[in-house]
Amino acid sequence: MKGLILVNAYTQNEHELNQPRRIRQELAGLGVPCDLRRNDFVPAWVAGGVRADAARGYDFCVYLDKDRYVPRLLEGAGMRLFNRARAVEVCDDKMLTHIALADVVPMPVTMSAPLCYTAGAPLSDALVGRVEEILGYPVVVKECYGSLGKGVHLARDRAQLHEIAARLQARPHLFQKFIAESAGQDMRVIVIGGRAVGAMRRTSKGDFRSNAELGGRGETAELTAQEKAICESAAQMLGLDYCGIDLLLSADGPLVCEVNSNAFFGTFERVTGINVARLYAQHIVNTMRSAS
């Protein structure tokens, strides 16, 4: 068996290669060699589909980028991707994730922002009225494509809502109920092969966003049976082999905040002592062996 590990074409620094190298190391330990490559080799689409030789020489691919086209091409050529193309696409878009999971697991009440084609157009009174009636202030405004907390904002009143919406405008975004009890803290749960393998509680002192990149500190945490069940259902619904789920800790119980198909595991491994790369490698090898 031989695998391909693909990373973003523009990956430059050594730090970004830690995660793929860890996965390669653990797969090698299980007797499965892998090539680690940037995804700019891109084989060509041809009329009527893809050439089967796009996947030649490899049994599977660990896909660590969010580009949507290369994974479709590789799957079209018959390759098994970890994670699958569709699962990565849905997770990349926070609104699509919400739509896929809203009936399956508890989540904060969320509204999509209508697309805006006119530069400078203000939010309509009707939309502002619905945000205020359904969600109230403060309200979370989130870019659909964002990570590391960078696209997550808090509007404390109508003026701030207008100001944030004006800044985001053409970028897809959503409005979400602010879970005040969870401000500055959440739970990051890693799910591999349908099983929640561990959790890290993240706490931030100065920011309602608890992302490690914004100063959130991690500590190992026990999962309740309910938290475990919610995370496993979400991962299963999205068809994910591997993910990191952010849970908000509301007064009414855990709520799924977002699902990261490409979650970094460096801090999580250090804090929890769980060998995430090995568990993922074992899942990949078991899946491939049981398929053959």
Where does this chain touch ligand ADP (CB under 6 A) — which range of 75-83, 118-126, 206-214, 273-281? 206-214
Q: What are phi and psi of 242, to 5 degrees?
A: -145, 135
**Region near ligand ADP per CB under 6 A, out of 51-59, 96-104, 181-189, 190-198:** 181-189
- Please work out, in degrees rounded to the nearest 5, the angle formed at the alpha carbon of residue 5 by the alpha carbons of 256 and 228: 25
Closest C-alpha among 179, 143, 141 to residue 157: 141
Helix (H, G, I), strand (E, B) or coil at 266: helix
Q: Please say whether the beta carbons of 221 and 256 come within 8 A.
A: no
Count the Cβ atoms, other than its own, within 10 Å of residue 16.
Answer: 14
DSSP track, 81-138: EES-HHHHHHHHSHHHHHHHHTTTS----EEEPPP--STTPPPPHHHHHHHHHHT-SS
Which CB, 55 or 179, lies closer to Mg ion?
Answer: 179
Q: Is 246 in the site for Mg ion (CB under 5 A)?
A: yes
- In the list ligand ADP, Mg ion, none, the entry touching 26 (Cβ below 5 to 8 angstroms by class) is none
Q: How far is the CB of 127 from ligand ADP (least distance, A)?
A: 18
Q: What sign has the CA pseudo-torsion 168, 170, 177, 160?
A: positive
Please name the residue that has the structure tokens 């926070």: 94
Identify any residues that bridge with 35 across adjacent strands, giving them in sequence order. 4
Pick 27 or 187: Cβ nearer Mg ion: 187
Query: Per the structure block, which two tokens stand in for 278?
Result: 């090995």
Closer residue to Mg ion in complex, CB, 31/206: 206
Cβ atoms of residues 3 and 284 within 8 Å: yes
For ligand ADP, give the closer residue by CB, 30 or 148: 148
Nearest-approach distance from CB 264 to Mg ion, in angstroms: 11
Q: Taking CB under 6 A as the rule, which mask of x and - marks residues 249-288 in contact with ligand ADP?
A: --------xx------------------------------
> Which among 83-91, 113-121, 202-210, 284-292 is the span making contact with ligand ADP, rule CB under 6 A?
202-210
215: partner contacted, choices ligand ADP, Mg ion, none (Cβ within 5-8 A by kind): none
Q: How far is the CB of 139 from ligand ADP (least distance, A)?
A: 9
Query: Could you tell me the smallest distance in angstroms from the CB atom of residue 106 to ligand ADP?
Result: 12
Structural tokens at position 193: 């092969």
Number of residues that bind ligand ADP (CB under 6 A): 24
Residue with smaller CB distance to ligand ADP, 60 or 265: 265
In sequence order, the 6+-apart residues with CB closer than 8 A to the CB of 2 are 32, 33, 34, 35, 57, 58, 59
Binding segment for Mg ion among 95-103, 234-242, 254-262, 279-287 (CB under 5 A)?
254-262
**In the bound complex, which residue of the shown chain has the CB atom lying closest to Mg ion?**
246
Site for ligand ADP in 80-139 (CB under 6 A): 108
Q: Which residues bind ligand ADP (CB under 6 A)?
A: 108, 140, 142, 146-149, 151-152, 176-179, 182-183, 186, 208-211, 246, 248, 257-258
Q: Which residues bind Mg ion (CB under 5 A)?
A: 246, 258
